[in-house]
Amino acid sequence: MPVKSKVLVVEDEKSISNFIIAILTANNYDVVTARTGQEAYSLITSCCPDIVILDLGLPDMDGIDVLKAVRKWSFLPVIVVSARANERDKVEALDLGADDYITKPFGTEELLARIRTALRHTRTSGANRDVAQSGKFTAGELTIDYEKYRVFVAGVDVGLTQNEFKIVSLLGKYAGKVLTYDFIICEIWGPNTNGDNQILRVNMANIRRKIEKNPAEPKYIFTEVGVGYRMIEGD
Ligand code: CA
């Protein structure tokens, strides 16, 4: 029998905490809970969770401070839970080393997908192991061929430019995970690019025109408004 993953849920709102516990228990996770940042911090050190679901608004401190403290000594995956419309918090959390974020209110499938993705990426030190082994990423009709440097939709080469390919392949390596605009820009154009998202937006518009049936309603690469982009999880 596979070992259950242990999830630490840090949340002071009882109804949300109960909701998360019910979902996780039903899906074969072990759950421990904390209501404050202090409790979270001592449980992280004493009971060694595999992953932490961390609310940012805690009674005794900002969840961001818990994240900062953990990141001083550990790569333990952390998914931050934040209120809607607080994009700056999400970007800050990701830049400080959160693996992902989820926005309240969220659904069962979204929570489970985020947890699966975060656990998978840590076990393979960042990038997706299946991609590394096969040299390919596949989701529906989309295939990224890392050896040929090409992207196919339904078997047809969509003809991406070099930078377009770099963006798509980066998102594919971290499929299921949101990548911030700054992270993508730094990876593609280098650290000295001015913090302007315009060039990335133009590239993304071209990518979508080439890979999506309806670029206004993308199926493969999603926009996380004010934060970045996320590739759909692979098959
Ligand atoms: Ca809260």
Q: Per-residue pLDDT tens for 103-150?
A: 988 999 999 999 999 988 765 555 666 777 788 999 999 999 999 999
CA–centroid distance, residue 164 to ligand 1 (Å)? 39
Q: Per-residue pLDDT tens for 41-96?
A: 999 988 889 999 999 999 999 999 999 999 988 889 999 998 766 788 889 999 89
- Based on C-alpha coordinates, what's the Rg of the chain? 18
The pLDDT of residue 77 is 93
CA–centroid distance, residue 56 to ligand 1 (Å)? 6
Q: Per-residue pLDDT tens for 159-175?
A: 999 999 999 999 998 89
The pLDDT of residue 189 is 87
Question: What pLDDT band is residue 10 in, cutting at 50, 70 and 90?
Answer: very high
CA–centroid distance, residue 217 to ligand 1 (Å)? 32
The pLDDT of residue 192 is 73
CA–centroid distance, residue 103 to ligand 1 (Å)? 12
The pLDDT of residue 88 is 86
